[in-house]
Copies of this chain bind each other. A is one copy, B any other.
Amino acid sequence: MATIKRTEISSLGEFGLIDRLTQGLSLQNASSMLGPGDDAAILQPANTQVVTTDILVEGIHFDLVYTPLKHLGYKSVIVNLSDVYAMNAIPKQILVSIAISNRFSVEAVDEIYDGIKLACEKYQVDLVGGDTTASPKGLIINVVAIGEQHKDHIVRRSTANEGDILCVSGDLGGAYMGLQMLQREKQVFLNAPEANVELEGNDYIVGRQLKPEARKDIIEFFEAENIIPTSMIDISDGLSSEILHLCKQSNMGCQLNEAGVPIANETYNKALEFGIDPINCALSGGEDYELLFTIDKKDADKINHHPDISVIGEMLDANLGVKLYTKGGNYHDIISLGWDGLKDE
Residue numbers of A with Cβ under 8 A of B are 9-10, 12-15, 17, 33-34, 37-45, 48-55, 57-61, 83-84, 86-87, 89, 93, 95, 97-99, 128-138, 140, 142, 144-147, 151, 154, 156-158, 232-234, 249, 340-344
A342 contact from B17, B42, B51, B342, Cβ within 8 A: B17
A147: min CB distance to chain B, Å: 7
Instruction: Kindly report which residue of chain B lies nearest to residue A154, judged by CB atoms.
Output: B42
Are B10 and A147 in touch, CB under 8 angstroms?
Answer: no
**A37-B249 in contact (CB<8A):** yes
Kindly identify which residue among B50, B84, B99, B233 contacts A55, using a CB–CB cutoff of 8 Å: B99
Q: Which residue of B lies closest to A50 (CB)?
A: B40
Tell me how many chains of this kind the complex includes: 2
Establish whether residues A129 and B42, one from each chain, have CB atoms under 8 Å apart when the complex forms: no
Min CB distance A233 to B, Å, is 6
Interchain CB contact under 8 A, A133 and B341: yes
A39 touches B97 (CB 8 A): no
A140 to chain B, nearest CB (A): 5
Report chain B residues within 8 Å CB of A146: 51
State whether B234 touches A61 (Cβ < 8 A). no
A47: nearest chain-B partner, CB-CB: B44
CB of B134 within 8 A of CB of A60, answer yes
Which of these, B38, B83, B97, contacts A53 with CB under 8 Å?
B97
Q: Which residues of B contact A131 (CB under 8 A)?
A: 53-55, 142
Using A60-B135, A133-B60, A138-B137 as known contacts, say yes or no to A10 and B55 having CB atoms under 8 A apart. no
Q: State whether A39 touches B233 (Cβ < 8 A).
A: yes
Q: Is A55 in contact with B17, judged by CB distance below 8 angstroms?
A: no
Contact B234 A39 (CB under 8 A): yes
Contact among B15, B38, B51, B93 for A87, CB-based, below 8 A = B38
Q: Chain B residues with Cβ under 8 A from A59's Cβ?
A: 135-136
A341 to B86, CA, bound (A): 36
Q: Which residue of B lies closest to A234 (CB)?
A: B39
Which one, B54, B60, B86, B342, contacts A10 given CB within 8 A?
B342
Question: In the docked arrangement, what's the CA distance between A48 and B33, Å?
Answer: 9
Of the A-B pairs whose beta carbons lie under 8 Å apart in the complex, a sample of 20, sorted by A's number, is A9-B342, A10-B344, A12-B342, A14-B340, A34-B156, A38-B249, A40-B52, A44-B48, A51-B93, A51-B128, A51-B144, A54-B131, A55-B131, A55-B140, A57-B133, A59-B135, A61-B133, A134-B341, A135-B140, A136-B138
Min distance, Cβ A230 to any Cβ of chain B, angstroms: 14
